[in-house]
């Protein structure tokens, strides 16, 4: 299971959200779907369940959404936003 890094600060915006990595000095903007994926991850949803929820909410093809969710999670991990470890903390 992944969790959000302790060095990440998050704020929500009307367009999605902003993540600030205070350790690496990087900022990341999330669109509405990216912010929703992160929210669902914090609730403990796995990739399959996230894809189902996003697909249902936005009327998108589930397989396309699943691939996009996987890629999004890989990018979060690559940029040190996610780490392996305990469940997500509540922000």
What pLDDT digit, counting tens, does each position of 5-60 carry?
999 999 999 999 999 999 989 999 999 999 999 999 989 899 999 999 999 999 99
Tell me the CA end-to-end span of the chain in Å, nearest whole number: 17
Q: What is the pLDDT of residue 91?
A: 46
Radius of gyration of the chain (CA): 13
What pLDDT shows up at residue 42? 86
Residue 79 has pLDDT above 80, yes or no: yes
Rounded Cα distance, 18 and 35, in Å:
9
- Residues 6 or more apart in contact with residue 35 via CB below 8 angstroms: 12, 16, 17
Residue ranges of the domains in the chain?
2-84
pLDDT band at 4 (very low <50, low <70, confident <90, very high): confident
Phi, psi (deg, nearest 5) at residue 9: -115, 140
CATH number of this structure's domain 2-84, picked from the four choices 2.40.50.140, 1.10.10.10, 3.55.50.30, 1.10.10.1150 = 1.10.10.1150
Q: How far apart are alpha carbons 17 and 31 in whole angstroms?
A: 7
Structure confidence at residue 86 (pLDDT): 52
């Amino acid at each position: 299971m992944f969790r959000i890094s302790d060095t990440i600060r998050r704020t929500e915006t009307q367009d999605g959200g902003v993540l600030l990595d205070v350790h690496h000095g990087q900022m990341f903007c999330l669109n509405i779907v990216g912010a929703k994926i992160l929210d669902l991850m914090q609730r403990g949803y796995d990739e399959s369940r996230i894809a189902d929820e996003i697909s249902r909410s936005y009327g998108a093809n589930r397989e396309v959404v699943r691939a996009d969710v996987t890629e999004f999670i890989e990018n979060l991990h690559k940029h040190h936003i996610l780490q392996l470890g305990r469940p997500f903390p509540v922000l």
